[in-house]
């Protein structure tokens, strides 16, 4: 897309200064920002993008994989706003700005910031642009952290929130990385207690070292190994333990790469901004407030949280903490860990399934509701308006049907294609293994837990049933019956594993790892203390059978409504 022109606006001045969370006051705050696309007459299509630690307002340059015409954040549809954040060095007021009281750069006299201070400036910018409520706020890394704080400070400001490769608080390891980076900067002889503006080159060596070390944390071991391995920079060949070739200069290709990253950084970033912004991240912990999650959930904002499997800076566990905390408070959350070899920097790159997931979440289509007979039967067994958890929700057909009747809920689906199809329907989905999700959920957190044509594909079906009975006030289970007469015939006469409408997979590709008859299953229900309140027998087309005699032979599948036994 064509690059938007960076604009500047003074949002706070002497007559209306910015009062920071600390109580300190900034009498003059100027913000550099870009806008792309056209604000609709209803002013309901604005998307606000928060950049990461070293980003800037020119989102088209650093997030072209996600933002632009026809991209997930489609500038032909959305009005995209992206500012340089407070404390930055790309046009917005920060430590290198002029202090009106002294006529010189603030340096270390610039007040310490809090994530809420970023939010205050972002909100002022949206109001300046005539936007009262955003369609979405989107950010990666520190950008995602800003959005989480924003959702806490002003819960009603946006309909959708996308947090990519983010965290709700830094780990000790992350704080340690930042501490070393800051020490490298402040111990540089050219730092001069932060008053280096106009007095020399500044702490270029320290800033370069900080960037080199940080960059190591942004890429995965796999990516570095594939790109550089142990190859020498000069020859491109693998290094050998030859004493003649050893030296203290740059020898390995990876060393040359990091040296380049450090030097290139000096041309676009300031050391004081690095100190201030990294310190804000250290102290970020919105969920330290016990009411934070409930406050966030109260606005009805839908969240998409994305992590990457090789990101060790903000690993998947940190995203899962956000997901669990918000979900437990009743927020609508979709989550997915995406496979990528590139580590933390994956959020800036074109990674399979990443862009598609964001696009599906921000621009869902609601196709015609699936008319499968079995789904209609299950739907009728669930009271209207129920909160439902659908384990193995597939493409979200059942939840879409229930939503029409006023129901709410979410799904769990680990298959990537099914997950994406469900998100495209506007369903909230956790893209995780059922066995991982269930133990994290509170008792009786759903009216109904549905396990539809899924139980036989789980590794520990008894644990799934036990946990489902704890999490839901009732459990609806639908399963194929491996004791159906046609299956018995195929085994007995043909000597072949059965394949038909109810069991459509050949033996070598089937996801079904635990085969049972209805009699086997009902015995397991009894062992787990699950009472059968209703049983519906189905033929091979998924329609209800009349009569109950000979169920273990006649039924191709069955639906059970279960509750904890008295």
Q: H or E stretch including 411? A: strand 408-412
Q: Give per-residue burial for 393-425: e unless 16+ CB within 10 Å, then b.
A: bbbbbbbbbbbeeebbbbbbbbebebbbbbbbb
Strand runs (DSSP E) across 405-497, as ranges?
A: 408-412, 429-431, 446-452, 472-480
Quick one: how far is CA 79 from the chain centroid? 22
| Tokens (6 digits) for 35 | 């806008």
Q: H or E stretch including 258? A: helix 253-266
Among residues 93, 305, 270, the alpha carbon closest in space to that of 194 is found at: 270
First to last CA, the chain: 64
CA dist 552 and 196 (Å) reads 83
Catalytic residue among 97, 120, 141, 410: 141
44 is catalytic: no
**Helices 142-153 and 115-128, interaxial angle, to 10°?**
80
Pair 81, 370: CB distance under 8 Å: no
| Tokens (6 digits) for 154 | 């002003």
CA dist 67 and 70 (Å) reads 8
Catalytic residue among 311, 390, 428, 447: 311
Q: How many CA atoms lie within 13 Å of 243's alpha carbon, on the beta-carbon side? A: 0
Pair 334, 164: CB distance under 8 Å: no
311 is catalytic: yes
Torsion, Cα of 12, 16, 18, 21 (10° steps): -160
CA dist 71 and 402 (Å) reads 31
Q: Is residue 196 classed as helix, strand or coil in its secondary structure? A: coil
Contacts of 181 (CB under 8 A, 6+ apart): 209, 210, 211, 213, 214, 274, 278
Pair 302, 159: CB distance under 8 Å: yes
Contacts of 153 (CB under 8 A, 6+ apart): 116, 119, 120
Let me know how many helices (H) and strands (E) the chain has, helices first: 19, 19
Pair 412, 440: CB distance under 8 Å: no
Catalytic residue among 344, 397, 428, 502: 344
Provide the sign of the torsion angle of the four alpha carbons 482, 485, 486, 492, taken in this order.
positive
| Tokens (6 digits) for 164 | 């990519």
Q: How many CA atoms lie within 13 Å of 315's alpha carbon, on the beta-carbon side? A: 7
Pair 83, 123: CB distance under 8 Å: no
- Residues facing residue 306 across a β-bridge: 164, 336
Instruction: Please identify every residue annotated as catalytic.
Output: 141, 311, 344
């Amino acid at each position: 897309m064509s690059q938007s022109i960076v604009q500047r606006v003074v949002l706070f001045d002497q007559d209306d200064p910015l009062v920071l969370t600390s109580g300190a006051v900034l009498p003059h705050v100027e913000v550099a920002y870009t806008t792309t696309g056209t604000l609709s007459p209803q002013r309901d299509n604005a998307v606000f993008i928060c950049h990461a630690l070293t980003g800037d307002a020119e989102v088209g340059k650093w997030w072209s994989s996600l933002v632009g015409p026809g991209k997930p954040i489609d500038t032909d549809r959305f009005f995209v706003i992206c500012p340089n954040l407070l404390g930055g060095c790309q046009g917005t007021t920060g430590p290198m700005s002029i202090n009106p009281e002294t006529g010189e750069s603030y340096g270390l006299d610039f007040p310490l910031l809090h994530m809420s201070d970023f939010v205050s400036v972002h909100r002022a910018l949206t109001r300046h642009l005539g936007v009262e409520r955003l369609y979405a706020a989107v950010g990666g890394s520190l950008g995602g952290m800003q959005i989480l704080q924003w959702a806490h400070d002003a819960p009603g400001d946006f309909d959708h929130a996308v947090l990519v490769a983010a965290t709700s608080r830094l780990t000790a390891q992350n704080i340690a990385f930042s501490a070393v980076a800051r020490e490298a900067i402040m111990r540089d002889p050219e730092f001069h207690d932060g008053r280096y503006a106009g007095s020399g080159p500044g702490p270029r060596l320290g800033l370069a070292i900080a960037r080199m070390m940080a960059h190591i944390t942004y890429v995965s071991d796999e990516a570095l190994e594939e790109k550089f391995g142990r190859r020498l920079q000069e020859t491109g060949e693998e290094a050998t333990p030859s004493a003649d070739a050893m030296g203290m200069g740059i020898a390995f290709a990876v060393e040359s790469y990091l040296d380049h990253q450090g030097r290139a950084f000096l041309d676009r970033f300031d050391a004081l901004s690095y100190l201030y912004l990294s310190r804000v991240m250290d102290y970020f912990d919105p969920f330290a407030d016990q009411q934070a999650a409930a406050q966030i959930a109260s606005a009805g904002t839908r969240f998409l949280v994305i992590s990457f499997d090789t990101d060790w800076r903000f690993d998947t566990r940190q995203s899962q903490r956000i997901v669990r905390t918000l979900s437990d408070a009743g927020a609508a959350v979709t989550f997915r860990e995406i496979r990528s070899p590139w580590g933390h920097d994956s959020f800036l790159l074109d990674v399979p399934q990443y862009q598609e997931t964001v696009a599906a979440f921000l621009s869902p289509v609601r196709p015609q509701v699936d008319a499968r007979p079995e789904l209609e039967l299950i739907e009728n067994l669930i009271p209207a308006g129920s909160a439902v958890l659908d384990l193995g929700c597939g493409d979200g057909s059942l939840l879409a049907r229930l939503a029409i009747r006023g129901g709410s809920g979410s799904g769990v689906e680990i298959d990537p294609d099914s997950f994406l199809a469900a998100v495209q329907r506007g369903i909230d989905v956790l893209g995780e293994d059922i066995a991982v999700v269930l133990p994290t959920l509170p008792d009786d957190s759903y009216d109904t837990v549905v396990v539809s044509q899924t139980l036989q594909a789980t590794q520990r079906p008894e644990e799934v049933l036990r946990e489902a009975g704890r999490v839901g006030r009732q459990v609806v289970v639908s399963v194929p019956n491996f004791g159906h007469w046609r299956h018995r015939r195929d085994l007995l006469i043909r000597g072949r594993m059965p394949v038909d409408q109810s069991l459509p997979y050949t033996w070598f590709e089937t996801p079904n790892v635990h085969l049972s008859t209805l009699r086997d299953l009902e015995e397991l229900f009894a062992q787990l203390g699950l009472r059968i309140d209703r049983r519906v027998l189905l033929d091979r087309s998924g329609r209800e059978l009349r009569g109950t005699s000979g169920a273990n032979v006649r039924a191709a599948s069955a639906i059970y409504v279960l509750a904890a036994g008295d």
